Structure 1
Amino acid sequence: MPQHPPAALHRTVPSPAGRIHLVEQGEGPLVLLVHGFPESWYSWRHQLPALAAAGFRAAAIDVRGYGRSSRPAEPDAYRMLDHVADNAAVVEALGERTAVVVGHDWGANIAAASALLRPEVFRAVGLLSVPYTPPGGPRPSEVFAGMGGPEELYVSYFQRPGRAEAEIEPDVRGWLAGLYAALSGDTMAEPGSPDPHFVAPGGTMRDRFPAGRLPAWLGEDDLDFYAGEFERTGLTGALNRYRNMDRDWVDLAGHAGAPLRQPSLFAGGARDASTTWLADAIEAYPTTLPGLSAAHLLDGCGHWIQQERPDETNRLLTDWLATLPALPASP
């Protein structure tokens, strides 16, 4: 008879943030799953049972600022060093010494930084949607301010505290639905349409979101879950991640140009701006990710890869995880 993985378990563990909420499923080597913006542990709902069935202990966290995890009040409590410290604390709290870390969107950046700064803990790294770019280069705020001409890149739009919150929080559910649709392979605007990553002078992000249609991967119940979380917590904790990019640039200056040497995997959507804008980063993988197993671009897929293409993502992850060296037996 086939073995079914045990049910998913919610728990909170101590971390430098205060507490991190996570959902875990399965037994075996630990795989830490880190979501992006504006998401939740729930973004990994399709991966938790698949990884458990493949013989792994999967743990999907709510990143600090989200869900049931702590939401520090200080904007600078969301710098990359803090997220790395949270991830390492979760591994320790779960009674493990090492983990594979897999991240999507901002979670991919957090996963990469965790592998870079704590290689003794994070023995392999999987990156979804956002390619690895080593620390260094020009100051981020200057780069983003120079993009878009008279229009404003969303990252710059998010910088001033309260500004994006004033757009989003009066109608969280509608705003989330629009953003998810704008970046999904089956509902995004046709090429040549106004880019939803930019804000026109005097406008808002939602001005360019598609209306009236949810992407195929997003059911009404799924949208209700995401909206309910952000209606309860607000968006400030999530947006504060964007407000620390210059601090990260300073904090990680000593690692400029550093490759990730652990075994690694990348998968992204061929229709995702993250993979098209950062195509040069993918081409640089032989240098920046010398332990890369493969880089996969899924045709027709947008930004929300593990939700848009759950079966394919699960296969890519479980096949890759099966190639990793076995952990030594505990003493």
Structure 2
Amino acid sequence: MEGPAGRLHLVEQGTGPLVLLVHGFPESWYSWRHQLPALAAAGYRAVAVDVRGYGRSSRPAAADAYRMLDLVADNVALVRALGEQSAVVVGHDWGSNIAATSALLHPEVFRAVALLSVPYAPPGGPRPSDVFDQVGGPGQEFYVSYFQAPGRAEAEIEPDVRGWLAGFYAALSADTMPGPGDPEPHFVAPGGRLRDRFPVGRRPAWLTEENLDFYAAEFERTGLTGALNRYRSMDRDWEDLADHRGAPLVQPSLFVGGALDASTTWMSDAIDAFPTTLPGLSGAHLLEGCGHWIQQERPEEVNRLLTDWLATVVV
């Protein structure tokens, strides 16, 4: 299927109202493998897309081709190409930001939005690069800053994609993440690598060899540059969305996060602000004992929350 960036690869199950599923970093349409059949069984046309830069979708060379406005345009084009006028959009991790911005800029297309792991925070505030450069303090570099220089993170990841992914997934999963006294895996020591703080020899229960094989094969084929370019476009997004600073999402909405996920603890103020920023919110659910990869760690609970919520949404 064609989008503004070229080919958009998707996997589809079911018929009925369209539910578009948008993944995050470093993932794939495959991250929604548990949700596709459940949504189809509940009477929905569930479509999981490889975001541009990932999997079988196109991978433009220019870093600024990964700005949020372009990813939103991909989503709109996808809905139209599927022959639909509107959809519910569901996102996880970066996909949560993409889903939220899609709903913010095109409420006529995205009539409801569900956000997983990363809560909605309206555009605005200081320039993102300035914020992330201050996170962590002396002797630690935040991973978002570490990802900024083209080629730097690729040089760490691409010689051992499978091992790096296994460590990254383990670092953010509830059953394998570092303990309270261990070094924080979101930071890089001077002269070090991000993976230096990943768990070693531990694989989360949700991540089978088959799952890891799929993810590794995709990124071994594509490399990581397209995925990392999303992080390298954050300041462009800040400029592009300046006219929408502080804007709420007024559509029907749902938030589901993991109680042990840094995204929900670091962004607790954003969750507290939901009465203002998400006035159409049906529920904000924090799953106890759950980490970042929420729809894979706790698929049955996430499926139930999504289908119960979708039953209340008219698209």
1:201 aligns with 2:190: yes
Per-residue deviation, 1:192: 2.3
Per-residue deviation, 1:219: 0.1
Distance across 2 between alignment mates of 1:91 and 1:211: 41
Provide the aligned length of Structure 1 versus Structure 2. Answer: 314
1:36 aligns with 2:36: no
Equivalent of 1:182, from 171, 184, 188?
171
Paired residue for 1:261?
A: 250
* 1:1-331 to 2 correspondences below 5 Å: 13-150=1-138, 151-325=140-314, 327=315
Tell me the alpha carbon deviations over residues 129-165 of structure 1, each in whole angstroms, 9 at most, x when there is no partner. 0000000000000000011112000000000000000
Per-residue deviation, 1:247: 0.3
Tell me the alpha carbon deviations over residues 165-202 of structure 1, each in whole angstroms, 9 at most, x when there is no partner. 00000000000000000000000011121100000111
Per-residue deviation, 1:213: 1.4
Q: Which sections of structure 1, spanning at least 5 residues, go unmatched?
A: 1-12
Q: TM-score, normalization: structure 2?
A: 0.99
> Helix, strand or coil for the counterpart of 2:9?
strand
Identity %: 81
Distance across 2 between alignment mates of 1:211 and 1:88: 41
> Helix, strand or coil for the counterpart of 2:85?
coil
Distance across 2 between alignment mates of 1:71 and 1:196: 28
Tell me the alpha carbon deviations over residues 273-298 of structure 1, each in whole angstroms, 9 at most, x when there is no partner. 00000000000000000000000000
Bigger drift between 96-105 and 189-198 goes to: 189-198
One-letter amino acid matched to 1:134: P
Q: Which sections of structure 2, spanning at least 5 residues, go unmatched?
A: none
Distance across 2 between alignment mates of 1:152 and 1:133: 23
Q: TM-score, normalization: structure 1?
A: 0.94
Distance across 2 between alignment mates of 1:220 and 1:209: 18
> Helix, strand or coil for the counterpart of 1:268?
strand
Q: RMSD of aligned C-alpha atoms?
A: 0.4
Tell me the alpha carbon deviations over residues 268-322 of structure 1, each in whole angstroms, 9 at most, x when there is no partner. 0000000000000000000000000000000000000000000000000000000
One-letter amino acid matched to 2:187: F
Distance across 1 between alignment mates of 2:190 and 2:72: 36
Tell me the alpha carbon deviations over residues 67-106 of structure 1, each in whole angstroms, 9 at most, x when there is no partner. 0000000010000000000000000000000000000000
Distance across 2 between alignment mates of 1:191 and 1:124: 37
One-letter amino acid matched to 1:118: H
Distance across 2 between alignment mates of 1:213 and 1:276: 24
One-letter amino acid matched to 1:307: Q
